[in-house]
Chains A and B, each alone.
Chain A
Amino acid sequence: MRIGRTALSAILLGVIAVSAGGTAWAHGERSQEPFLRMRTITFYDTKWSKARVKPGEMMDLTGKFHTFSEWPRAVYLPDSIFLHYSVPGPSMLKKEAWMNGMPVINSTSTKLGGDYDYKLGIMGRVTGTYHVHPMVNIEGGGPLVGGGEFVTVDGDWSNFTNNVTTIDGQTVDMETHGQGRIIGWWLLWTIVGVFWLGYWVVRPFTRRIFMVGVVPEEELVSPGDRTVGLVLMIATVLIVAIGYVTTNGAYPITIPLQTGRMDAPELKPTTEFTPYAHATVRARPVTAVYTVPGRSLGMVLQVTNGSNRAQQLGGFITANLQFRDPALFPDTRLKIKVEPAGPIAPGQTATLTVDATDAEWEYQRLAELIYDSDSRYGGLLEFFDADKNRQIVEVGGPVIPSFEGGATALSGGGQWRPTTQYK
């Protein structure tokens, strides 16, 4: 009975979590250690342009990711990364990949503290419903995934084609390109191989074990056999040589596999968005507590507004979760509470207390941060000016767990006090 209730609760919680927001979790993203998800690559502003495509129809997966400055020691630095997305095999094809306006066909490099605006052009191929999420593979570190959404490829893909035009003007379908040569050439050599094997096993062969060393060698391998073998060897070399020469004639211009890579450029600030490297607001962590029963992360931050406009803390992004202030974003699912509320004047420094409370901490298994070998939180703060232009500011520091029941970081209980634990 107890197991049944627990299972039912888990199922209900899962259904609520999935249905309450657009993002679905289906690939074990939550099983990655919390410090990995909070303090390495943070995906944000992720958007899926379509939830349903036909085979051959394109959709875009766009967003940004941030490489945390205080990168964990346990993970290789993101000097060599590969922008990717996670689907089951080639069910959807990657037609384009861009980072900060640069095509990233091969691997590239990133810098710590960088923000990267990515775009993946994806084409539907195999009919089905797939969980599609952005992913950054780090050489030596493995994959780090963002949140995903289900995308359905709807329609008959039996006539799917994937055309490409070569620089000499040929248009080929990559689904079937070269198949004629593969089948023909392989069939030819399979017949030759079967012939050579058949030539010897068509006569009884097990008895030969008892004949070696007893009967003359010519009875086992006759001069005729040697002639056949020699002819076969010469024919093999000739056929290969002729095949090679004629192939070079048919395809005179070929290139080797391309392995070059380019470094992704820096993301330039715009009026609407300022990446961390150009942010004029600075946030210094003072203290942080995670209240386990309350499922609440509370942070005390010292924020200095170095810009010439008032800036208000309106959001906190961590581990692919986006908490926002409902005063600025009434429709937000995950809420933060900031005290004192309101903007910070230009040039001013304020001590803010931020409360991010939601069952999502537990559902996302982020509460297990306290069991990590690196118990520090990390995330991105979103500051907005009066026109809702946004700045991204990194924040992170040690987090202390509290197991006292009832209280969230800011509400009631009085069990948790902000203290200046470190400078």
Chain B
Amino acid sequence: MALLSQQQAASLERKFDIIILVAAFTGTVAGYHIHQMLTVGDWDFWLDWKDRRWWVTLTPILLITFPAASQYFMWEKMRLPIGATFCIMTLHFGQWMNRVFNFYYWAWFPVNFTTPGLMIPSAIFLDVMLMLTGSYMFTALFGGMGWSLLFYPSNWVWLAPFHLAAKHPSGPLMSIADQMGMEYVRSATPEYIRIVERGTLRTFGRDVTPVSSFFAGFISGLVYIWWMFMGKWISKPVFISKT
């Protein structure tokens, strides 16, 4: 076999990088998106499920999973502090493809009704925390807390307009999100299955969200440790005997 020049070797290496990147991207979109749909599900899907308790609590806790495992692999094996951002970017890619092509162009739900929860700021915080500390423990504690605390504020920027109040012609006070939920019919989603604003995680006053966010932060740290070990298990090389 002819020896490759340095330039040819570099080009080949780059092509290999791209193949790895595309394969990792595709695999992560599939796996993480399915995980998100099966766990966070409706809370992340519909505008009228994005409340101040369940959505704020469940989304960070359930979505820190794949980033934690990816962070272990990418940091431990490659010193790449992009595990969380990579997972979240792939997830958002899959989500938007789904919401635009399936839920808008096929089923005619307006895109503002099915906008997913943004997690890029949370992911960047988690990645940089790992890079700066080099410690999974600190990343779980402080990164996990930051991951959860950044979630609601970073989404409120686009969500706030849908919490303007309107008086429905038939009488009740509704937010625009509630009204869209009523009008844009989902025949397999009766209102009573909407798990929003319920539960014992209550507040002493008007501010519900900080309570939910801090609680999510604590649990996210625990889930991070668990899935970090999952990443360790998955990353473990297995050698097959020659004989």
Contact = CB atoms under 8 A, between A and B. Distances in A.
B150 A237 contact: yes
Contacts of A88: 107, 187
A84 to B, nearest CB: 6
A257 B177 contact: yes
Interface string B196-220: 1110000000001000000000000
Contacts of B92: 190, 193
Interface in B37-55: 48, 50-52
B20 interface: yes
A258 B166 CA distance: 11
A59 to B, nearest CB: 14
B89 A193 contact: yes
A29 B77 CA distance: 57
Interface in A145-177: 162, 164-168, 170, 172, 174-177
Interface string B180-199: 10111111101111101110
Interface in A232-258: 232-233, 236-237, 239-241, 243-244, 247-248, 250-251, 253-258
Interface stretch (B61-69, B78-86, B222-230): B78-86
B91 to A, nearest CB: 11
A278 interface: no
A206 B13 contact: yes
A258 B146 CA distance: 29
Contact of B161 (A177, A192, A243): A177
A167 B108 contact: no
Contacts of A190: 89, 92, 120
B157 A185 contact: yes
Contacts of B20: 206
Contacts of B161: 172, 177-178, 181, 251
A165 B110 CA distance: 19
Given A167-B166, A197-B86, A209-B77, A89 B120 contact: no
B163 A255 contact: yes
Nearest to A255: B165
B48 A257 contact: yes
A103 B78 contact: no
Contacts of B141: none
Contact of B157 (A93, A174, A181, A204): A181
B157 A254 contact: no
Contact of B129 (A106, A197, A233): A233
Contact of A178 (B112, B169, B208): B112
Categorize the interface residue count of chain A.
Answer: 35 or more
Contacts of B110: 174-176
A271 B184 CA distance: 38
Given A84-B190, A197-B86, A247 B180 contact: no
A164 B85 contact: no
B232 to A, nearest CB: 15
B95 to A, nearest CB: 11
Contacts of B121: 189, 192, 236-237, 239-240
A85 interface: yes
Given A105-B182, A251-B160, A259 B171 contact: no
B124 A233 contact: yes
A90 B108 contact: yes
Categorize the interface residue count of chain B.
Answer: 35 or more
Interface in B127-176: 127-129, 131-132, 146, 150, 153-154, 156-158, 160-176
B118 A105 contact: no
Contact of B17 (A192, A201, A211): A201
B123 interface: yes
A256 B13 contact: no
Contacts of B21: 201
Interface in B85-123: 85-86, 88-89, 92, 107-112, 115, 118, 120-121, 123
Contacts of B185: 84-85, 87, 89-94
Contacts of B16: 206
A225 B86 CA distance: 17
B132 A230 contact: yes
Interface in A64-100: 80-82, 84-98
B164 A172 contact: yes
A106 B48 CA distance: 12
Looking at B79, B172, B176, the one whose CB has the most chain A CB atoms below 10 A away is B79
A139 interface: yes
Contacts of B48: 257
A123 to B, nearest CB: 8
Contact of A93 (B82, B125, B184, B196): B184
Interface string A182-225: 10011001101110110011001111110110000100110001
A91 B108 contact: yes
Contacts of B170: 96-98, 103, 105
Nearest to A262: B172
A253 B160 CA distance: 9
Interface of B: 10, 13-14, 16-17, 20-21, 48, 50-52, 76-82, 85-86, 88-89, 92, 107-112, 115, 118, 120-121, 123-125, 127-129, 131-132, 146, 150, 153-154, 156-158, 160-180, 182-188, 190-194, 196-198, 208
